Amino acid sequence: MRACRPGPSAQRRVLRVAGMLAIVIAGSAPDAIAQKARPEDTLKSATDTANKIREATGGKPAAKPVPSGNPCAILSSSDVQKAFPGAKAGERSTRLEQYGITECSWKGPAGQVVLAVQESMSEGTVKDDVMGMAMGFTDPLKANSTSNVRFESFSGLGYPAMGFVEKADPARSILGDGALLIMRDGQRTISLGSAELPQRDRAAALKVLDDLGKSAAKRFKQ
């Protein structure tokens, strides 16, 4: 009996979840761990994770081309620094580009990632994307664990957009801190993710995501 392999869209979604989780884990690491982890070590760990998932799922490089825009230009430095005071200039990573996903991350004064932006071309809906990403933060051994995630729709961006802000809460089957906003223009998808925002008041964190989403939406077609 032949093992079933996920299709290209599912493979890209798995790699995208792995990529965003790697950013989130790096950003939310305890200070003692973060001080020991060098940026190159964090990148290597994230890349190794993506490669292991690719091997396990039989994934191959995406057939679709890499988005032509610069992911670090989706938000301006002033946009990011307003939300995350002291944030350094964004740094582009190519670790997921073989799967059709571009990525940029901004680090705070302590050297930890405070915001990540990813852009890709994918099928489905924005709800599919958000639900798929939420699965990476919830307990896979608990049935319907994603039902504990409080999903939010973001209006006024000019594009379909959804997201969530949650702190780790084992009692609710949520295993990690996560803040995410995803918007779509047809098949073009932009994701904004942060492990720092869940440490703030939830309403305030959602407001930051909304503000960043509106700023990103202005550059969506550029």
| pTM assigned to the model | 0.75
- Flag whether 3 is in a domain: no
Residue 2 lies in a domain: no
Does residue 1 lie within any of the structural domains? Answer: no
**Structural domain total, the chain:** 1
Q: Which domain holds residue 148?
A: 8-218
- Angle between helix axes 126-135 and 8-28 (nearest 10 degrees) is 50
Q: Which residues contact 200 (CB under 8 A, 6 or more apart)?
A: 208
Per-residue pLDDT of the chain (222 residues; tens, 9 = 90+): 333 444 445 555 555 555 555 555 444 443 322 333 344 444 444 455 555 545 554 555 545 678 888 999 999 999 999 999 999 999 999 988 888 899 999 999 989 999 999 999 888 899 998 988 888 888 888 888 888 999 999 999 999 999 999 999 999 999 889 999 999 988 889 999 998 999 999 999 999 999 999 999 988 765
In a domain, 108, yes or no: yes
Q: Is residue 69 part of a domain?
A: yes
Domain assignment present for 49: yes
Contact between 19 and 101 under an 8 Å Cβ cutoff? The reply is: yes
